[in-house]
Structure 1
């Protein structure tokens, strides 16, 4: 079955050197309807299974907030890397601990804003606020409030034409709908966001909504990051996950060319099934990786807790060690505030943990030292290396 073009082109005349065609995506759901092939059913079944396992392990984690803190940061780094930022998770943790910037300061601000936007979205959902265009605008305002997008109308849908790739609309890889048609598309997007919950499995609806959001491209900046941020938020909103410990941007980053190719194929050829299978594979693979990573982190914590327990002559070791679990890159002053112990006591405990091979001191300074829980950071950093 061939669907063909999933929308219409509209010729635009502007101040650019030549006329250009903007694309107005058709409203969801696809027409003709999806073909539920055995491959598509199998992909959905595997994704559901792996999400169930991930949700199950999240319920037995000793400190769920600890895992949410770092999984959200990993997703923020990976999603931003797809857009070309040069920040790693290790750098983000160092920045949050000490506000030390590498040369790419704005990249780190972009990633830090992503984390804040995710926190805001989760908080609003927890308070009963619906996943909606209004919430999307609120998150966008936080996402681009500083960094590279700070002059791109944070929190406001665009009032001018944008494009993807190229130097102008006339040579762009993709030109989203003009402003008036964009508004109509967004209204239809929100209707399907709510109505589609009764028509499609949540993961299939998420796959459709992601393409549609990227095709509408309603902001001047941050569309890709916000579109990917909506994936875990939708799963939380629909109670598929109890905690946001999924980072699908890892798979999308590793398969970036295929990701963009499939988005274009949906728009211009109507090949929805290939995209949805790819999306479901992204969910299944990253859910499985999250389960495995959680298990490895728990094993590390158990082993190091045993080492700390054997050194119990220093009775303050356990509390300082737990503080480093929460902030695996930290200034001495941060550990003091977290544990409410004296600075000399904390320093002695940190040095003991270093001697035990659990921590590293990464500045070489006598003052303002920064300690890192190196093995833990290395596990979290997997996949974010440049």
Structure 2
């Protein structure tokens, strides 16, 4: 468990960490270039009161990350010992051995109490919550995916992300070695590396998102200069939609504009002639049209956030 209080002399946050492997005290980094990110996120977060162990178990339901993986016991906490690294026979030589199964429910409840707090800077809180979740390792499988989902849920509930999710987790996995080293340091009682990694990943995610925004803005400006239509024409209703839904059919255009099928097909034909849409698959009324400039921008976005392998 992590608790915090302000220092009477410096005003900085001091944390006490209790993990299944250690109990220690350390100081949050104040003289780092990330302090602005911490101070900007330290505000009341009323929606965080909804986090609970049952909610975390629902995140591992068969309809989420473990569909078709019965060995993972989706929706249920593990009832046996697991370990990370080493062999599949025994934990001998493992890189990390999480707490025993009987300690998992209490550890999760402790984590959820920490997540519900509103007196800890948001990004630091997210980093510690993620590291503690991975340390508890409450499921047979899918802990990494669920732990990353927890990151984005906390950022959304805290108001740091609103309409879109900044791929912070992708930034973490861009350098897996430093990420795993930071988790190891956390389990040894040092919070600084994992908080720093989250700060770095946040800035990487923000930069990547801004670049995607610039790319899509350029795409849209190119469309508006290549499409000739009167003001108020249905084509101007369809164009903005393509930025968020680059694959459309005639039925899609009908739903967006309220036009009949022949009129929707005329809109598609105009966008095709302007180079906005390209035929992908299908026949007659069921043809799927693709805004390839948008999908190319999304592919580039994903490539920049790709996960590198540990050598």
Equivalences for 1:1-386 in 2 at 5 Å?
7=19, 24-26=20-22, 31-39=24-32, 42-46=33-37, 130-141=50-61, 142-144=63-65, 146-147=67-68, 149=69, 152-165=72-85, 166-170=87-91, 172-195=94-117, 197-198=118-119, 200-267=120-187, 269-308=188-227, 310-312=228-230, 315-363=233-281, 368-385=286-303
Partners in 2 of 1:252 and 1:295 — Cα distance? 23
Larger helix fraction of residues: 1
Partners in 2 of 1:276 and 1:373 — Cα distance? 39
1:371, distance to aligned residue in structure 2 (A): 1.2
CA gap 1:218/1:354 in 2 versus in 1, 3 angstroms = same
Partners in 1 of 2:175 and 2:302 — Cα distance? 14
1:145, distance to aligned residue in structure 2 (A): 5.3
Indicate if the aligned counterparts of 1:323 and 1:335 stay in contact, CA closer than 8 A: no
1:354, distance to aligned residue in structure 2 (A): 1.8
Q: Which runs of 5+ in 2 are unaligned?
A: 1-16, 307-311
Indicate if the aligned counterparts of 2:134 and 2:144 stay in contact, CA closer than 8 A: yes
CA gap 1:212/1:133 in 2 versus in 1, 3 angstroms = same
Return the TM-score normalized by structure 2: 0.77
Q: Which runs of 5+ in 1 are unaligned?
A: 8-23, 53-124
Report how many residues are paired. Answer: 282
Indicate if the aligned counterparts of 1:252 and 1:282 stay in contact, CA closer than 8 A: yes
CA gap 1:187/1:47 in 2 versus in 1, 3 angstroms = closer
CA gap 1:307/1:169 in 2 versus in 1, 3 angstroms = farther
Return the TM-score normalized by structure 1: 0.64
Q: Per-residue displacement from partner, 1:244-282 (whole Å, max 9, x unpaired)? A: 431112312321222122212322x33321221111111
CA gap 1:151/1:345 in 2 versus in 1, 3 angstroms = farther
